Structure 1
């Protein structure tokens, strides 16, 4: 599969997954809990499809400089606390200079859905981050890095990543996006940033659930 075809089909699949709750709500006569269950299933199907696309696609230029598996795993694990520290720093900057609340509306909405149906935690901590890494880091940043270098593709990828979350914390998500792009470029493996992203989301969501309880 060519880079262009891979990028298109990956982004298209992501769009379908994002709009799946609207489709379920308008087409099916289901309860809100059933919609959450169907959405979770759709997230996992989307993640599985994207893994399949990755297997069938050509390696990008950025992936020709791969670190070994142990470094990939270690960097991904170390990236979890690093991403949490980065979050705290950027949130303080947003609060001090932009007057924004530390609370993330996107996170609060996710926690509300999880409280309604705990199965949704699987979508937000596993399937969701997997898809986002394939879309924003590989399909967008990875496909453009060879031609434009690091900064511009990372900026585009990170800005789109921030707007996809759409809760006002654009600087926060863009900063995380740059971190994930850097991890992917350094290791040459998308699994590096994926490990960090999954671990970060899991810790944030579990902390929020514990505070709610």
Structure 2
């Protein structure tokens, strides 16, 4: 499977996963649909990636697994620090509230259905890493330089979160991309993304 074909399939799966909960008539059914679709899609795109023979240039000589995992764990805490810096900058430069409506909605949904935490902390991050890092960067870098592909994919990552914090999500998108590129393993950025989301959700629930 070519890089382009793999990328398009991954993006299509994400689009179906992203929009399908809106087809369900109640909040409860939409939450269950989100849980099932996100976890199922995360598993499917992971399998698709493992069976794909195409590799990006920076994936050709990946770092050792131990190094990649350590970077992933360190990335959790670096991502939290980056998140706080980005929020401070948004507040100072644009007057944006430090509160994320996206995060507030997620915490509300988790309180309605505890299993929703699996979609947010596991399924969602895994799917987003394969889409915005592996698929989009893979497709875009065929036409534009890697650094530009990283910025474009990160901007799209921010837009899809749709809560006004463009600088915050773009910064995180670039950071996760750098982890991926540095180690040559998508699982490094996945570890950081899953860990960051889990930590944010845990802290958010404790503060409720």
Q: 2:106 aligns with which of 81, 104, 110?
A: 110
Q: 1:147 to 1:70 in 2, by over 3 A?
A: farther
Deviation at 1:59, TM superposition (A): 1.9
Cross-structure match for 1:187: 183
Deviation at 1:147, TM superposition (A): 5.3
Within a 5 Å distance, the mapping from 1:125-204 to structure 2 comes to 125-145=121-141, 148-204=144-200
Number of residue pairs matched? 207
Quote the Cα distance in structure 2 between the aligned partners of 1:103 and 1:211.
13
Cross-structure match for 2:28: 33
Deviation at 1:13, TM superposition (A): 0.3
Contact 2:3–2:138 (CA<8 Å) still a contact in 1?
A: no
Cross-structure match for 2:47: 52
Give the unaligned 5+ runs of structure 1: 26-30
Is 1:16 aligned to residue 16 of structure 2? yes
Deviation at 1:146, TM superposition (A): 6.0
Give the unaligned 5+ runs of structure 2: none
Q: What's the TM-score, normalizing by structure 1?
A: 0.94
Contact 2:62–2:185 (CA<8 Å) still a contact in 1?
A: yes
Contact 2:7–2:138 (CA<8 Å) still a contact in 1?
A: no
Quote the Cα distance in structure 2 between the aligned partners of 1:51 and 1:71.
21
Quote the Cα distance in structure 2 between the aligned partners of 1:168 and 1:22.
21
Quote the Cα distance in structure 2 between the aligned partners of 1:116 and 1:91.
27
Contact 1:87–1:172 (CA<8 Å) still a contact in 2?
A: yes
SS of equivalent to 1:101: coil
Quote the Cα distance in structure 2 between the aligned partners of 1:145 and 1:81.
29
Quote the Cα distance in structure 2 between the aligned partners of 1:161 and 1:90.
15
RMSD between aligned residues: 1.2
